[in-house]
Chain A
Amino acid sequence: MNDDTPVLEINNLGISYFVRAGEIPAVPDFSLTLKRGESFGLVGESGCGKTTVAMAIMSYLGNNGAIVRGNIIFEGRDMATLSPEELRQLRGSKIAMVYQEPMSALNPSLTLGLQLKEVPIFHEGASDREAHDRALAILADVNMPDPESLMKRYPHQISGGQQQRVIIAMAFLAKPSLLLLDEPTTALDVTVEATVIDLIANLRKKYNTTLIYISHNLGLIVKVCDRIGVMYSGEMIEEGTIREVFKNTKHPYTHGLFDCIPSLNADKYSRALAPIPGQVSLPHERPPGCAFGPRCRYFEAGTCDAETVAIEPINGSSGHRVRCVRWNEIDHQPPVPEVDLAKASKRVPAEVLHVDNMDMFYEQRDMSISALMSGNSIRYIKANEGLSFNARRGQTVAIVGESGCGKSTFAKVLTGLETATKGSIRFNNENIATIPIEDRDTDLILSLQMVFQNPDGTLNPSHTVGSAIGRVIKKFGLASRRKDVNKMVAELLETVRLPASFARRKPRQLSGGQKQRIAVARAFAGNPAMVIADEPVSALDVSVQAAVINLLMDVQKKYNTTLLFISHDLSVVRYIADTVVVMYLGQIMETGTAEEIFSPPYHPYTEALLSAIPIPDPDIKQKRVRLEGEIPSVINPPKGCRFSTRCPRHIGEICDNEPPPDVETSPGHRIRCHIPIEELKKVEEIFQSTATE
């Protein structure tokens, strides 16, 4: 086979699922051609058919899915004509796939070595010795330290990031000609994600593998792919090279996606997010003509809903294609949505929350005999240590950090689910650090409410929306008569821009974004002085995310509430926060206003975090700072600086042995680091624009 034959050719593919209600056309029409060594990114919001296409390429659609039209030609062979045995040979050797959840992709009862060796043994009949050597080589390729001992370990003995590396190693082990990656880094922390992305990009070049990278994150696609396809409701609506699609966007939906993403050089005072109105129409209720029609601002009756829109090439470009009838008529510089937020006045608002040197240690009892003998039967997990910061009325304070840094523990202490071990939290001048929720009075409970991360878990599936919100109203004594309660529920639903009829719905009849709106309504019901939002948008699609962020800010402004925004997503934080607190392993590393955090001097950890943000703009180059190693255990944290084990700017023994001082670089901006402040100030900006205009 010569190099010009495409590795994968998908022609007018149509995929349907057959369920009780009938046929659901998940993917009506999809075409794609991939050359050898090409890397293609597939983006779109959840439910747009990305994974269905990937599964169809693997010829694995489950019991109720089927290809109803078109064909998939892989290396010159039509996949539909292959026998189950031939397919089995193909999967894992010629086509490999990496899934989102690393833990469930590895067999927990087999050693990693066994699982890696299986690939060459099964597909190439390699000997055990040979397979072992190849497994070791590939593990070195994915930068795993000490491959020999890793081969003997079980999946649960390594971290999530390492598991995903092992899976990627396994995928590359058979030297596949096509590799499908389905959201491979969504379950990982940002700094780990950055290293895994680098790894995929490097291996791809080394093995010249054709790649399909599925993601909802445009920033990641920029780092890995040459070409990109944007999917909407089962159809490819725009396709082209990264630069073509990002810089010469033609489809209104792609425009919409970009407008939803907070950018790093703008905050809420300078640019508003523009969520796409409406929701994705269900596959069996797809409107005639353009599927995006009902949500499109350029919709023209008679033109857009007349007949099925074909994907057509854009003049002067070979690969840039768009599925829009009006692409050459519409204005591609849409008006920037107006910002309706005035920068806070000079007057400094009153302090609502003042955290002073707060510690929260979990006690862990070790009942083993040796622990009892040595007298060390109680160990402390230092979830929070020495937290100090404050929050002012009407402002947004963001707490940033990776999983396990103690940000959720702090939220628990604040809401009274846990109590602090030491120090104080003054909330409206009352120390609440050691008052558990049972001992708090209604006024205090009502003024400290919370919005949770997971939209599916935040509402009780057995209760209607009306009773969920109504209970809060009754509980807080805002109203007791049924009629009054119902009226307040309707008002609150209106505040979060949902129709009053939603009060009768059960959570399963709502989308993720709607559930999160209900959660917001519930938290703001009692007009709280402070709302804690624990990753409120990280489980949502970008367009929904933008809508929920806008909503949170609107409601916050209406009630002049202080918002404590816990997140790992720095671009959202840059957009929404007034003050940022960066946490690592239970300690605050850096605090300051958003501008101070996002420009030098940086704490080395902040620097690494910023460097890891996936930015959906091919013109912005980030300085590359990658963290090696794993986050140490909170039971036994490093003696000196908590960050010393992974710090890329480690300056010597002082880092390992002495806790760093808390240096104030400018009023309100504090950095906890041994490196002299003058030196930190010399660090260059992480983000550099390389636009050549």
Chain B
Amino acid sequence: MTDQLPTAKPAPVKRDPSVAPDDMLMWILGRAYDTVNRILEILYYVIRGTLSWFFLLRESPAAMLGLSLIGFWVFVAIFAPYLTSYDPNALDYAMLADPTPSWIPWEDHWLGTDELGRDVWSRLIWGSRTVLIVSPIAVGMAYLVGCTMGMLSGYLGGWVDMLISRISDIILSFPVLILFIILISTVGPSAFNIIVAVTVASSPGIGRIVRGLILDLRNHEYVDAAKIRGESALYIMVVELLPNARGPLIVDACVRMGYTIITIGVLGFLGLGLPPPDPDWGGMVVKAKALISIWPHMAILPSIAISSLVVGFNLLADGLREISMRD
């Protein structure tokens, strides 16, 4: 051991953001390169993450069944124009005499027609588009609002928590359906209003789940470590805490998708769904209910469509829960 003094690492050189670097072009190119690199890397992780989830899911029969039900409707919704030769709103008066389905896929009107002679199969598959667009957006919006509420009240606590929790309590004290009817009948039925209504009705519930998770997570030492290096509350909430709450939230999102699909169906049934003549599963059921004893297919087929999609999401949620419990 020599008696030389230990040398300290030189102080880091900091870039002054107000002064442009000497080589501006190289600097911009460097930043651009970094950004592209970053995007590619994120893409890689997203794809790898999705694939790894899929491989995990393969081990749960429930999840696979759920996934294939959802997959079926997603496929049908994407390729709707190629899977039918009929316009969903076109009337075929020849079929009014006997709209009974033939049940043979390659024949005309194989699932029959409805009370106005419109092809049920085309209405089902075009209707799936609405459901599969409106419900994910609605759930997504509800999550955006719910997570914000939950994170703020869970992490900040105090009067923020008090305020948000009491607002949630008030919203949650209304029966959901009545809340929907009040909201939609005031602002009028439209896809956007359904999304708003679902957001208002679901976000307090999501907020409570997130709040509970955050209350638990914020006691971990990595949160203290983040505070000690001077991170802002926003950074800690979004980057440190939220990713660790994702497990239960993904499961809840799947269940909530199912509920939202039911809700959209119910709203259609109550005449508060999408305005006619666009195909809407709930609306199809209500129009055909008078004829249910004569031509049951008109009401039962859209009901099956709704429940198969709901069951699909619930099975997927079960499978995800099962997998998350195992590890």
- Chain A interface residues (CB < 8 Å from chain B): 340-342, 345, 394, 415-417, 437-438, 440, 442, 445-446, 448-450, 452-454, 457-463, 471-472, 475-483, 519, 522, 526-527, 557-560
Contacts and interface: CB of A to CB of B under 8 A. Distances in A.
Contact of A452 (B9, B34, B38, B225): B225
16 contacts: A341-B1, A342-B1, A440-B230, A445-B228, A450-B224, A458-B221, A462-B243, A471-B229, A477-B12, A482-B34, A482-B38, A526-B12, A527-B12, A559-B6, A559-B9, A560-B6
Given A340-B1, A453-B221, A415 B228 contact: yes
A345 B3 contact: yes
Given A342-B1, A449-B229, A475-B230, A454 B221 contact: yes
A249 B221 CA distance: 40
A394 B8 CA distance: 11
A437 B230 contact: yes
B8 A479 contact: no
B94 to A, nearest CB: 59
Interface of B: 1, 3, 5-9, 11-12, 14-15, 30, 34, 37-38, 220-222, 224-225, 227-231, 240, 243-244, 246
B224 A460 contact: no
A480 B38 contact: no
Given A341-B1, A519-B225, A560-B5, 18 more contacts: A340-B1, A342-B3, A437-B227, A438-B230, A440-B230, A450-B225, A453-B221, A457-B220, A458-B225, A459-B222, A460-B244, A476-B12, A476-B229, A477-B14, A478-B12, A483-B34, A526-B12, A560-B7
A350 B37 CA distance: 46
Given A341-B1, A462-B244, A472-B229, A457 B222 contact: yes
Nearest to B37: A482
Lowest 3 CB-CB distances: which A-B pairs, in order? A462-B243, A457-B221, A478-B12
Contacts of B15: 477, 480
Nearest to A440: B230
A478 B246 CA distance: 31
Contacts of B225: 450, 452, 458, 519, 522
Nearest to B30: A481
A76 B221 CA distance: 50
Given A342-B1, A481-B34, A445 B9 contact: no
Nearest to B10: A527
Given A342-B3, A559-B8, A560-B6, A475 B244 contact: no
A537 to B, nearest CB: 15
Nearest to B27: A481
Contacts of A459: 222
B230 to A, nearest CB: 4
Given A394-B6, A457-B221, A475 B11 contact: no
Contacts of A519: 225
A477 B5 CA distance: 28
Contact of B228 (A341, A345, A437, A462): A437
B231 A475 contact: yes
Contacts of A479: 12
A209 to B, nearest CB: 40
